[in-house]
Each structure stands twice: as structure tokens, then as C-alpha cells.
Structure 1
Amino acid sequence: MVSFDRRTLLRGAALAGAGMAAGPFAGFAARAGASPAPQVELVPIADERDGAVRLWLPDGFGYRSFHDTETPVILDDGATLPGRHDGMGAFRGRHGNYLLVRNHEMNTIGTAFGPAGTVYDPAAGGGTTTVEVTRHGAVVGARTSLSGTLNNCSGGIMPWGSWITCEETVNGPDVGPDFTGTPNIALQRRHGFVFEVPLRGAVDPQPITAAGRFAHESVAYDPRHGVLYLTEDNFGYASGFYRYLPPRHAKGGGRIADGGRLQALAVRGRPQHNLAAEQQTGATFPVEWVDIDDPAPTFPYTPGVSAPTSNDTALSYVAAQGWAGGAAWFSRLEGSAYDRGVVHFTSTQGGGAPEAGPGPIADGFGNGHGQIWAYDIDAQVLRLTYQSPGPDTLDFPDNVTTSPRGTLVVCEDSTGDNYLRGLTRHGQLFDIGLNRLVGGNGAPRYGDEFAGATFSPDGHTLFVNIQATKGMTFAIWGPWRRIGV
């Protein structure tokens, strides 16, 4: 979810498609205009924390911000709260409160921020924090839950009460510097993995290596089959959509086991099909899965010496195995969510003119303004449910979650105005919120992206982050059903 300069070459166009599909896709219309979009007007709303206007929301809604790192925030364990609040999951807590497990997409190399028992790599600055809050966003307590990781972007909720957090990087002592140019020599462990973070008790800060070493963004868990679906946000190359088959089903308890099998999605009969290019909205594709034989590589290196393997080589190593077997090309896959047999996921720069090859592309793989895909697990069919017709409608969709009634809530990661959007089950897009943050220096922060949207288990509160160096979290409540959420 790292923000880069946007593509400006071409604008993708959403085209009319075929009729509605049966099964889990039923209700998601294949064409815009199948039913009227909700009519939602956004108005300035004061933050209950201090009366400042930070969001525009529908009339009748309220919100409270917390953990604003414009000033230092000290956690209960003595650690200083990092910024760059990103992916997040909400769980039931004590006394009607909620527990949030929240990522911090920190790429700093130096010192881990948390206490010793939470640390994976002492030289890595990312991780997760766990926060207890009331339904109206008052903080009861907060602590480090995982530290010593890098670029913790998004993740996914496990139904037994844990959070899978994803590293959006392949940095490590065996890989050369990434786009920041920072040497990786100080790192002590390989990065680019997913980790399971329990709600309570001690974390085991060890990755699930068989789920792959690549630029992970998010995961969505299929509880019926015990499978993790994973998105890849590889900025300069084509990204893949993967599934991880654990060696055993967690069956509602325990944790995701390491040692399983990683596979990449391919369109049946169309090897290396470019799904990042403009598609017909509502188009469907039967899929198959390609095995990844070496999902967690260690590249040769000498400790204390800059590694000979370039970051680009490491970034595309897993994806290239998929391409060799015919895996499909996507553009920057980011948020994902499981709902009633379907995995919904976003392609941030999908929907424009096709690229000539899978990369590297200096300003990002994909020429569009965003696509939203849905994968029907039992039918093994992929469907394009929405494609942005231009930046004024939807610009760079990122994290996504589902409301209790099945509406998708989409976070925008644009360089201009950033919205929270809703996508109905009839394929209609509408506005839910607008960032109107102003920094302590008086400068607008409208370009700071929304991230980590997640509903409380009872559907009362939507929690969402501002992913920026000076980050914060919002608790938003109101008459969701009235606006179609």
C-alpha cells in the first residue's frame, strides 16, 4: 500500500456487461445501473475528540479519532506508537468493548519498537499494535502485539480470534536495497512473509514461510475449506492472486500451520492472461491454480556485505514461477475480504491500456484507476464486479471490507481527494466519507489515504485509519442501513 506517483497516461472505461450470475455472485449486478445508487450527501462533521472537522460523512453520523501520532503516543508496555496505521481487524472485547489489531507500515531499518517477546527482527521497525476501545472510540488500553517486521500493510481476520499481518516487502540481509535505497545489511532476518497475531497471550513472532515470500498485501480466509487467499502488491511488476493450502484445517481453532502449498491463479486456457488491462465489467473467467515450487527463497549473501541479488529480482521471484505455469497478470492487488463463499479483492491500477509485459515498469504496472474482482470459491470462477471509468468516480481502490449486509466498503489511495466508497451488491458505487484532515501546521492533508476499514463484530462501528507518517484511527457510527451499508 505504499503510495507512488499516479499513472496519468490513460483513463480506463467501465463498459456494460452481461446479466447477473447465479450462486454467490447473485446480487452483484454485472452492469452499472441495474438499480439506483444510494443517494448520499456528505456534510462536515465535528470530531468528538476535540471538535475539529476531519471527515465529511452523511448527516446523522458521528466519529471520534484516536492514536493521532502528530504527537507521541506511549503504549501501555512503554513502547512509542509507530505511525503509518494501515490494515486492521476488529474483534469482540470485554464489557462490550472491541479489540483492534492494527498494522503499522514502517519500512525503517534500525530498531524494533516493541518489547523483546514480540520481536521477529531486532533491526526492523514495523509491526502491529492491539488496542481496546469502546464502541465510540475511547481508548481503554493499547500494547505492542508484534514488532521487528517490515511494511506491515494489510492482513485478514481469522474467525477463531487472531489477525494475519502481511509484510509488503522482500527486504532482508540476502537482498539488495529497495526503492528507498536504504541498505539491508543491518537486517538479521528475511522479510516478505505473513505472521499470525493472537488477540490474547504471547505472540510467536515466526512467519508462515510456506505462504510465500513476496510483497504481501492482504489475506482472506475461507472458513469452509481452511484456505488463505493472498494478494500481492508488486508495484513495478505484474502482481499475482494466490492461495495457501495449509497442511491441515485449523477448524475454528489453533493457528494457520506452516508447511503447506502455495499456488497462483491462472485463467483456464489463457496462459499469462493480462487481467490488469481494461476488461468488460461483469466478465467472468474460469480459473485453475499453478503450484509455486519455491515459495520462500533464501538468496546467497555474506553477512555484513551488500547482497548480490537485486530487490527487483527478489520481488518477482515467486511471481515468475507462477508466470512460467501460466499465472494471470494483475495490477497491484491490495485489499481483500471473504463474504459468503466469495473473495472480493481490489486491483489498484487495473483497468487501463495493457502493458507490453509483466515488468519492470518504472511508474507502476497498470494504466487504469482501479478494478474490483470477486472469486467464487466453489465454482472456481473469477468475475470483474467493478471497473473505474475515471479518477473522479473511483481512484486507486485499496483496502476493502464488507458490511454485515454485504456492501463493500472501499478505501481510496489517491493523490487528490480520498474517499471511503460503498459498492452495493447491485454494482452501484456511492460515497461514505471524505478525508478533510488538516495538519498541525495548517496544511491540508486530503491526499493522506484511508486504510484498514473494518466493522465491529456487531456492525455498530466502522474503524478506519489514515495511513501516513502522522497517522490516526477513526471510529465512525451512524444509521448504516439508511445509506445502504
Structure 2
Amino acid sequence: MQRRTFLLAVSAAAFSGSLWQQAAHASAGLSPYGPLGPPDANGMALPAGFTSRIVARSGQTVGGTRWHPAPDGGACFPDATGWIYVSNSEIPLAGGASAIKFRADGSVERAYRILSGTNLNCAGGATPWNTWLSCEEIFRGRVYETDPYGVRSAQPRNAMGRFKHEAAACDPDHGVIYLTEDESDGCFYRFVPNTWGDLSSGRLDVLCAGPAWKRVPDPGPAVLERQTRHQVSDALHFNGGEGCHYAGGVCYFTAKGDRKVWFYDAGRNVLGTVYEGGGSLDGVDNITGSRAGDLYVAEDGGNMEINVITPDRVVAPIMRLDGQSRSEITGPAFSPDGSRLYFSSQRGTSGEAAGTGGITYEVTGPFRR
């Protein structure tokens, strides 16, 4: 397959928040990790020096807890000498989220539920105060603030809007949280809490032409005709908003309908695209980033890859799963030290819609950090 793409021509430091330049075409180069090798025992193709392992399977016990079906969005949190990986469950009525606690050597200490009884929990986002925002991808869906450490009970954050939520990304530099919406005419939002660190109250804005931010009059509409994405006439619309990641003054978000990776430079109030489809990266979905400034984008379908987008405009696969074409890659997140990447295949080799064949993986290797 020819691996080429259309990217925004940016300086080598662009992903860390420096000035964006005018758009131009660029060709994908060689991966910083080299080519993918043959599939390993887990059916995963990786560059030389990387290894994979399966840490959980849907319906099977891990760390004393039955792992949930349809694992989706995820994040990692520090925990003394170890760390925690949190994962949503995108199933109806009983979605919620679970967590796996790892020891310093990477072994599993225990697993536990942190959210139950919610509906189609898709993606979400980590907060700077170490909570997990789990988002419902349903009509009038909520954002739930959960405790990855399993101590405090989860709380709905209705002020963040009632719509078909997908992902969230916290911007501590400007005191806001960006939100995506998985609709064919979805919007890109920001929630401005009255007090940073307290999400119980605040203002919901929508990105409009200009770009400009305008307040959503009714963040919790009860009727279809008053949905948040239709309340402000000049709101911008994105075809199937998915993953969302903030780093260095820039929020990156994906839109699966047109295969674009967008950026919003908050400091300069500039909206543009990082990736415009037409290359190796297909079905853009969940997104995360590394300390080196690289973006990692997971595919919903396609050939089941995670692709890296580097600051020097290279787009290349760093992982491919064989024999799982009816699944999707979800929940990519790095361990706090950047040495391990966690993610799931939502439906695994079975491809069942209920996600009972879900598999959660760990990849270890010389990631740039």
C-alpha cells in the first residue's frame, strides 16, 4: 500500500504548540520505529524491539474482576510505584468503566469497577487532578467523573451538556475542557467550569465560524428539536467527532466521517487540520500523544492499525492486528513513564457486536519520550 497523506505543513515543533504555518501537501516518510515485522503469537505486527501481551479479555477474570465487554476509551494514571489503566465499556444499559492496577514490574495487582449502570460509555478523558471522565454516547448522554483509584463514587456532570458525547480533553492552560460529539453534524465544545477542578457547574460553549466560541443556551435539552448542536446558528459541524487530546496549547480531535485529524490552537485561536485522509491512516478514532510530541491515532476498522503522526509530518503504522477486521482499536494510552502503550480491540477476533470478544493489550518498547 502506498503510504502518503495530506498534512498541514508545520515546523518540527508544531505539536508542542508553536506557531502553525500555512497548509500544504506533504508525503509520509519512514516510521521512526522502522517497518512492521510479521505478526507475533498475539496476531500483532510490531517494529523490531517491541513486544505485546494480552492483559485482559472480555468475560474473563483479571485481577479478581470479570473484565467488561466492548472495551473502549481509556487512560493511565500514576499509583505509587505502579500505575492504573482505566477502560470504558461501550454496551447498552450496563456500560460503565473498570480499572486494572499494575505493580512496578508491570504485573497485575487487581482490577475493579469504577462506574456501573450507565449507557454506551465510549471515550472520555483524564483530568489533571487524576479523575476519569467517562462519556455516554447516547441521546442526552452524560459525562461521569469517576475515581480511577476506586475510593470515591462516580458523579454525573450535567453542566457539561447532555448530548451524544464521545471524548474529552482538559486544557489546564486556559481552564477549559474540550468535548467531541459523535453525530454526522456534531459540534466541538468547550466546558468552562466556574472553578477549575470542580466540574459541578460552569458554562458550555460551542465552536462557531470565525472561529469564535458562543454559549450554548440550554446544555441539557429534553427534546430533539433543542439539541445542543442545533441551538447556535453559526456553530461549526464535524462529521462524526471521535478522539480528543490536548498538549502544548493545542487540542487535537478526530472526525471519522471525513477521516480528518483536526487541531484547535487555543492560544492563537486557529482551527485547521493535521491529517486530511487519503493516506495509510483509515477510520480515525481514539487519539493520544507522547512526551516526544507524537500523536497516536487508532483505527476504527481499516486494517486495524495504530498510526503515529510525528512533528516532522510523518504518518506511519506502529502496530497492526491481523484477523480482526470486524473490530476496532480503542483506548490507546501510555503508562506514566511512557514505556508501555495500552489499548483494546473492542470485538476481538469474534467481531460480535456485543463486544464479548474484546481484548485489552499492552505493547512495551523503545517509544520516543
Question: What's the TM-score, normalizing by structure 2?
Answer: 0.89
Q: SS where residue 159 of structure 2 aligns?
A: helix
Which of residues 424, 447, 461 is equivalent to 2:326?
447
Check whether the contact 1:219–1:336 (CA below 8 A) recurs between aligned residues.
yes
Shift of 1:472: 1.5
The 1:62/1:241 distance shift into structure 2, 3 A limit, reads same
Residue type of the alignment partner of 1:413: D
Taking the aligned partners of 2:266 and 2:72, their CA distance within structure 1 comes to: 27
Q: Does 1:328 align with 2:236?
A: yes
Residue type of the alignment partner of 1:412: E
Q: Does 1:420 align with 2:306?
A: yes
Residue type of the alignment partner of 1:104: S
The 1:196/1:19 distance shift into structure 2, 3 A limit, reads closer
The 1:54/1:263 distance shift into structure 2, 3 A limit, reads same
Q: SS where residue 203 of structure 1 aligns?
A: coil
Q: Does 1:218 align with 2:157?
A: no
Q: SS where residue 446 of structure 1 aligns?
A: coil
Q: SS where residue 235 of structure 2 aligns?
A: coil
**How many positions carry a matched residue from both structures?**
355
Map residues 217-366 of structure 1 onto 2, 5 A cutoff.
217-234=166-183, 237-250=184-197, 256-268=198-210, 287-299=211-223, 313=224, 317-322=227-232, 324=233, 326-350=234-258
Shift of 1:132: 0.7
Partner of 2:278: 389
Q: SS where residue 427 of structure 1 aligns?
A: coil
Shift of 1:206: 2.9
Q: Does 1:41 align with 2:27?
A: no
Q: Does 1:200 align with 2:149?
A: yes
Taking the aligned partners of 1:87 and 1:329, their CA distance within structure 2 comes to: 23
Partner of 1:377: 266
Q: Does 1:133 align with 2:43?
A: no
Residue type of the alignment partner of 1:103: N
Q: SS where residue 231 of structure 2 aligns?
A: helix
Shift of 1:420: 0.6
Q: Does 1:472 align with 2:359?
A: yes
Shift of 1:38: 2.5
Check whether the contact 1:32–1:426 (CA below 8 A) recurs between aligned residues.
no
RMSD: 2.5
Taking the aligned partners of 2:315 and 2:22, their CA distance within structure 1 comes to: 12
Gaps of 5+ in 1: 1-12, 47-51, 108-123, 171-190, 251-255, 269-286, 300-312, 351-369, 437-443
Taking the aligned partners of 1:140 and 1:341, their CA distance within structure 2 comes to: 36
Shift of 1:36: 4.1
Shift of 1:421: 0.2
Check whether the contact 1:31–1:427 (CA below 8 A) recurs between aligned residues.
no
Partner of 1:49: none
Partner of 1:86: 72
Which has a greater percent of strand?
2
Q: Does 1:24 align with 2:17?
A: yes
Check whether the contact 1:163–1:197 (CA below 8 A) recurs between aligned residues.
yes
Residue type of the alignment partner of 1:64: R
Q: SS where residue 161 of structure 1 aligns?
A: coil
Residue type of the alignment partner of 1:73: T
Identity percentage over the alignment?
33
Shift of 1:202: 3.4
The 1:293/1:75 distance shift into structure 2, 3 A limit, reads farther
The 1:17/1:465 distance shift into structure 2, 3 A limit, reads closer
Residue type of the alignment partner of 2:117: G
Question: What's the TM-score, normalizing by structure 1?
Answer: 0.68
Taking the aligned partners of 2:312 and 2:287, their CA distance within structure 1 comes to: 17
Shift of 1:59: 1.2
Check whether the contact 1:417–1:447 (CA below 8 A) recurs between aligned residues.
no
Shift of 1:17: 6.3
